[in-house]
Amino acid sequence: ERVDFIAFFHEVIDRFEMNVPEHISFSRELPPQRMFVWIDRDKMIQVLDNVISNAIKYSPDGGKIYFRAIKQKHRILASVEDEGMGIPYDKVDKVFERFYRADKARSRKLGGTGLGLAISKELVEAHQGDIWAKSREGKGTTVFIALPLMGRDRGAGK
């Protein structure tokens, strides 16, 4: 289904913002123009739900979560950045494996099965997209999601 990713991203964020814990704030840096992608809405909701729930779950009190999206040549690059505990640099790729949970996530009684990101990766890849993370321990984590832009929009960016 043809979807304007920006409007779609706003809708997903809106839903979280209605119930977001008091100690966390959201900041959206999303462009005004539309960016069309061909996606299965429900599956992409699942992806964003996983990533945003993680950002909330692993955020400290007073933490801010930044939502961004930019148009690149043939793709849209969306990201969710938090100011949470972060992931050790040698573990940052492992978090996309099934049942992997970093020590800190395990030791803090945060709950979870370690499947969220593994499922997200499968779903994003089924859309010919990519998902990866950058993180600094104690500083925060950014999860990036890249999705191919649809025909007319391709190459229209910078």
Residue 19 CB, nearest approach to ligand ATP (Å): 17
Q: Is 139 left (phi over 0), alpha (psi -120 to 50) or beta?
A: alpha
Residue 100 CB, nearest approach to ligand ATP (Å): 6
Rounded to 10 degrees, the C-alpha dihedral 25/31/34/37 comes to -70
Q: Which residue in 149, 152, 158, 153 sits closest to 39, CA to CA? A: 149
Distance CA 89, CA 95 (A): 11
Site for ligand ATP contains 113 (CB under 6 A): yes
Residue 110 CB, nearest approach to ligand ATP (Å): 7
CB nearer to Mg ion: give 54 or 135: 54
Q: Which of residues 34-63 bind ligand ATP (CB under 6 A)?
A: 50, 54-55, 58
Residue 142 CB, nearest approach to ligand ATP (Å): 8
List beta partners, residue 85. none
Give contact residues for ligand ATP (rule: CB under 6 A): 50, 54-55, 58, 82, 84-87, 95, 100-102, 105, 112-118, 141
